Structure 1
Amino acid sequence: MFTFTTVVDALQQRVAVSGPKPAFIFHDKHGGRCVLTWQQIYRLGGRWAAVLKSGSTGQGHLVLNTLPNSPERVIVETGILLSGAASVNGQCQLADGSDLLHGLHVSRARAIILDPDVPNSPWKILEKLVSLGEDGSVTSEELPHLKLVYFVRRGEKGDDEDFLTHLENLSDWYQADVKPDDVVSVFTTSGSTGFSKLVVHTHHNLVLWNTMSHPLFDDSKEHIDLILSPLGWLGGYAGLPFVTGHQRVLCDVRGGGHPDDVVDFVWRCLQEEKCTMFFVSRFIIMQLAERVRKSRQEKVHGGESSISWEWVPECILLGGLPITRAMVQAASHLAKTVFVDYSSTDFYLIATLEVDDPDTFVDHDAGLVVKEAQVKIVDTEDENVILPVGQVGNILAKTSGMMREYLNNPQATADAFTADGFFRTGDVGSLDARGHLIVVGRGSDAIMRGPYIFYPGWLEARIRACPGVSDVLVVGVPDPLLHEELCACVVLASDHVTTQHMREFVERDIVTTEDDSLSLQPRYYLRFESFPMTDTGKPRRKVVKKQAALRLALK
């Protein structure tokens, strides 16, 4: 059993035991494969930490990291850890860069890490606002806290312009004395303003994953996990394998972008690496299960299978949105065991379920509350009233690994907790007679779209800026794969304005990446003559939502 109190301690112990073994295995869309061993990560991470130290960046500082999933991102994150600083997940999805600038302003980051050569690089926004010195130092009236820009480029191996090659050519190495209560990283989560809230976690929080009462955290077995989540999310964070000891298989997005056929990519990774566990989106699971089903039919009828399923992973993990029986049934064809987890960036793992029989799974069942957590269901009007078994109310939770705070946002932090320390999850649900937590969905206007919780207010404000738009409501409509899809319901000023004009306006406003299956852009646009209103003059959002689903014939 490994024992450690910081993520840095955990990495040191993994290096001592598994040094030359793979820690991260990257596949790219062109069939390329790159392996980072535990020793490589520690060696190169320490060299990057020395670079940060030479720029007076270390303990108490925050570094905004905008790199996508890639070997470079893992090394950069490790170097930030070893330097004693903490990373902040940097986002740049809006064409005007307002989300990037929001992250820099709120975090007061001392440094930013980016690749200036990639499409839609954050540097295109930033270079207009800063004066850059030859040593990477910057000055900016708009961003007074920002002192350094680090350019992380990928080039030919052996070329010193290539980031990893450059680190191999360095000799200085550094590791700070990190404490359990130090900030380990600042993650992003959904925000009602459209900008992500910045969620602060400590080393102490993350090392709790090693003691979680969950079968997936069994240190006595070898684990190879396929996880496509961004390395800047808590569930995909590069430091988690240091704690769990699991090998991680993922996509190298810098190696040509996202896969053209992500379902085929997942299948190939699972089979080639013989992954024991995988966690991917609902869309991928449903599509992959359908391909496997068709392949088995082809084989039964003597045909040539289009996809083989020779290696069967030990388990598949479902989470991120209310889970249905259909989804569990599909997942059961892809792994020996199906797990359902209820967790979030703010409060970690709350409940888990190992599914016994997919055909009798109860929709939205998240399983038993883990021993490290407490849950209570309270009245939606008075949270001092705890509801009895079976009644639906607001879900409040308390865990040993809850976030420290929302960074530099004391009001949001205060609003998130009750007087007795329970976190207001924003979800509604119930506890059944078995003690299982049933998570029905969100209790607000938020839209549950795939792994994202989407607050529509900020997007509505941007669409209202489109000429000819009088009013707009963005609502969630049923989707068989994502749970809900975005639908913009609009009242137009004249017949000369069309929904196509609005679609083009939004496409220009929001950056589209190569992987836009979960873009922030609405999938549907519907025209309304007017919105039904309440007695106080507010639009009836729930009524509009039902009308939109009916008009689109969605169930």
Structure 2
Amino acid sequence: MSALPEPRFLDDRLSHWARTTPDAEAIVYLDRTWTWAQWDDRVRRLTGALTEFGVGHGDAVAFLDKNHPACVELTFAAASLGAANAVVNFRLAGDELDYVLNDSGARVLIVGRELRPAIDGVRDRLTHVEHVIEVTPDGEDGDEYEALLAGATPTGRADDVEPGDVCVIMYSSGTTGKPKGVELTQTNLIAHTVNGHEGWSFDEGDKNMVSMPLFHVGGQSYVQVGIHDGVPTVMTREADGTALAGAILAGANRTFLVPAVLAKVLDAGPDAVKLFGALKTFCYGASPMPLPLLRQALKAWPDTDFRQVYGLTEVSGVISHLMPEAHRDTEHPERLVSAGQLIPNAELRVTNPDTGEEVPTGQQGELWFRTPQLMKGYHNKPEATADAVTADGWFRTGDVGRIDPQGYLFVEDRLKDMIISGGENVYSIEVERVLAEHPAVTEVAVIGVPDEKWGEAVKAVVAVEGSASEEELTAWCRERLARYKCPRTVGIVDELPRNPTGKILKKELRKPFWEGRDRATV
């Protein structure tokens, strides 16, 4: 980790590297490369352009495209004015785009050329957007964003900017209704970068691969890590195999990805496995890593450091991590299913969901965190903020888990995913872990479905490789679980529905069973 003083403002490190190593490589994207001085100049020019548009303290701008350095530039430029960048999921439909852009209050929108038609389709409904600027992947002729930078006057940080200003608004996936905008401040993102950096660092010659979507906190926060340490960033437009392979061939050797990507690499054959062996660090998170897949990966890449992270957008990303040595600790294999230990400057309470009282070590409860990484609040939603954050600063996650005497955190389930069958609480993740150990199971989700006798019954939905019958999978569970936890039915599908970040959409699996009933399907 860098020995430099901890930054106060988001652009402190970018401007530092522009002064001290101006000609060193800062970022590579497709066929373009910028030095630190060039990248800082682009940010300063964008700050000037936003100033000319009238953007100032407390305003919002927005970005809609696949991964592009312009998104990071917009975050820095907005922060330099005390404004916020609302980063929009490029997979949203028209009505969803309409809602997010209007809710954010964005005055300026930077949009990728291939997504411009979607914006044109809702342009008359965007009540706050005053300027729409089109950006292309390659900076080709007619790129409005590049023309905007070329004609702008470089401008420094405004005098009224404070570290506690909101600089990013990250929208939730909307599985519980309309998406909520999570407001993250400059202080939040800097604290996350510093705290999440504990226990590992870059070496000379390293390059950091940023492939997680920037609309996800795993992309938006992770990109700051390489900038913090002054190492080059290799950004891919998407997280497909070709792009990832190209980044590794370009020298990228540290990365953060979802487990689903790792599974595809292992299935791609020996050449892909060998290529990914060039990675020094493979950090994974955003969804659980099935234990068989993790064991396969540890065996395939014996020289790679694996680091698991658990976190939430509301805490700027990472709040706990399972470090490389714990991944290969043969004396404590049970820790492979843990979320590791808390990062620095984080506090945890495991509480009774009904009373809010702390429960004893080892007992399950709702996870509450307190940290300087905690969001300012939900944008335009004070009641939702009050529901999620206590008066003394504890964030109620809605996740169920426990902590062992050594401080290892085990995230067991979501409160809303808990199945109550005949008065017994069944945590879906416990059943999922057992089914994931079956050699034929490649994906699994466990949900509760209506049952006239028990209220809810446990149902498993699995994808398999080869053959495995419902009876076989049910018997597998009965050998390893209490009978009330075992699935009463098992559905076998080709693949499970996932959102853009790879998270299984249990809402879609529940929907046909609960439609028209009182139980929520979130």
Normalized against structure 2, the TM-score is what? Answer: 0.74
Deviation of 1:286 (Å):
1.5
Correspondence 1:276 to 2:253:
yes
Structure 1 gaps of 5+ residues are 28-32, 131-142, 253-257, 296-304, 457-474, 482-511, 543-555
Distance 1:388 1:406 in 2: 31
1:225-280 C-alpha deviation (Å, 9 max, x unpaired): 2232122332212555433434322223xxxxx57xx234323422x133232212
314, 320, 337: which is aligned to 1:346? Answer: 314
Which residue in 1 is equivalent to 2:344?
371
Deviation of 1:377 (Å):
1.1
Q: Find the residue that maps to 2:361 and give its secondary structure.
A: coil
| TM alignment of 1:365-444, pairs within 5 A | 365-384=338-357, 386-444=358-416
| TM alignment of 1:94-109, pairs within 5 A | 94-95=92-93, 97-109=94-106
Normalized against structure 1, the TM-score is what? Answer: 0.70
Structure 2 gaps of 5+ residues are 419-427, 433-444, 448-458, 466-497
> Contact 2:189–2:373 at 8 Å: present in 1 too?
yes
Distance 2:4 2:152 in 1: 30
| TM alignment of 1:179-190, pairs within 5 A | 179-190=162-173
Deviation of 1:98 (Å):
2.0
1:77-102 C-alpha deviation (Å, 9 max, x unpaired): 3333334422111245454x221222
Distance 1:540 1:50 in 2: 48
Q: Find the residue that maps to 1:279 and give its secondary structure.
A: strand
1:464-491 C-alpha deviation (Å, 9 max, x unpaired): xxxxxxxxxxx9845689xxxxxxxxxx
> Contact 1:50–1:173 at 8 Å: present in 2 too?
yes
Structure 1 residues 9 and 428 mapped into 2: Cα distance closer, same or farther (>3 Å)?
A: same
Structure 1 residues 377 and 171 mapped into 2: Cα distance closer, same or farther (>3 Å)?
A: closer
Deviation of 1:289 (Å):
2.6
Which residue in 1 is equivalent to 2:489?
none
> Contact 2:198–2:344 at 8 Å: present in 1 too?
no
Aligned residue pairs: how many?
443
Structure 1 residues 418 and 206 mapped into 2: Cα distance closer, same or farther (>3 Å)?
A: same
> Contact 2:196–2:343 at 8 Å: present in 1 too?
yes
Which residue in 1 is equivalent to 2:294?
328
Q: Find the residue that maps to 2:402 and give its secondary structure.
A: strand
Which residue in 2 is equivalent to 1:11?
14
Structure 1 residues 420 and 306 mapped into 2: Cα distance closer, same or farther (>3 Å)?
A: closer
Distance 1:431 1:422 in 2: 17
81, 96, 110: which is aligned to 2:107? Answer: 110
Q: Find the residue that maps to 2:43 and give its secondary structure.
A: helix
Q: 2:58 corresponds to which letter in structure 1?
A: G
1:320-349 C-alpha deviation (Å, 9 max, x unpaired): 233443232233234521111121111143
Q: Percent of aligned positions with the same letter in both sequences?
A: 21
> Contact 2:175–2:507 at 8 Å: present in 1 too?
no
Q: 2:106 corresponds to which letter in structure 1?
A: A
> Contact 2:86–2:170 at 8 Å: present in 1 too?
yes
> Contact 2:285–2:309 at 8 Å: present in 1 too?
yes
> Contact 1:59–1:83 at 8 Å: present in 2 too?
yes
Q: 1:267 corresponds to which letter in structure 2?
A: A
Structure 1 residues 121 and 520 mapped into 2: Cα distance closer, same or farther (>3 Å)?
A: farther
Which residue in 1 is equivalent to 2:328?
357
Structure 1 residues 73 and 435 mapped into 2: Cα distance closer, same or farther (>3 Å)?
A: closer
Distance 1:193 1:213 in 2: 28
Which residue in 1 is equivalent to 2:437?
none
Structure 1 residues 94 and 519 mapped into 2: Cα distance closer, same or farther (>3 Å)?
A: farther
Correspondence 1:20 to 2:23:
yes
Deviation of 1:404 (Å):
0.8
Distance 1:108 1:199 in 2: 14
Q: Find the residue that maps to 2:416 and give its secondary structure.
A: coil
1:401-460 C-alpha deviation (Å, 9 max, x unpaired): 1111111100110000234321111111101132210111211149999xxxx9x9xxxx
1:37-84 C-alpha deviation (Å, 9 max, x unpaired): 222221122112211111211222111221321233333333333344
276, 280, 285: which is aligned to 1:314? Answer: 280
Which residue in 2 is equivalent to 1:122?
118
> Contact 2:257–2:285 at 8 Å: present in 1 too?
no
| TM alignment of 1:442-457, pairs within 5 A | 442-445=414-417
Distance 2:510 2:327 in 1: 41
> Contact 2:62–2:109 at 8 Å: present in 1 too?
yes
Q: 2:151 corresponds to which letter in structure 1?
A: L
Deviation of 1:222 (Å):
5.4
Structure 1 residues 410 and 226 mapped into 2: Cα distance closer, same or farther (>3 Å)?
A: same
Which residue in 2 is equivalent to 1:67?
65
Q: Find the residue that maps to 1:59 and give its secondary structure.
A: coil
| TM alignment of 1:423-502, pairs within 5 A | 423-445=395-417, 477-478=461-462
Distance 2:510 2:348 in 1: 39
What RMSD, in angstroms, separates the aligned Cα atoms of the two structures?
3.8
Deviation of 1:158 (Å):
7.2
Which residue in 1 is equivalent to 2:453?
none
Which residue in 2 is equivalent to 1:149?
131
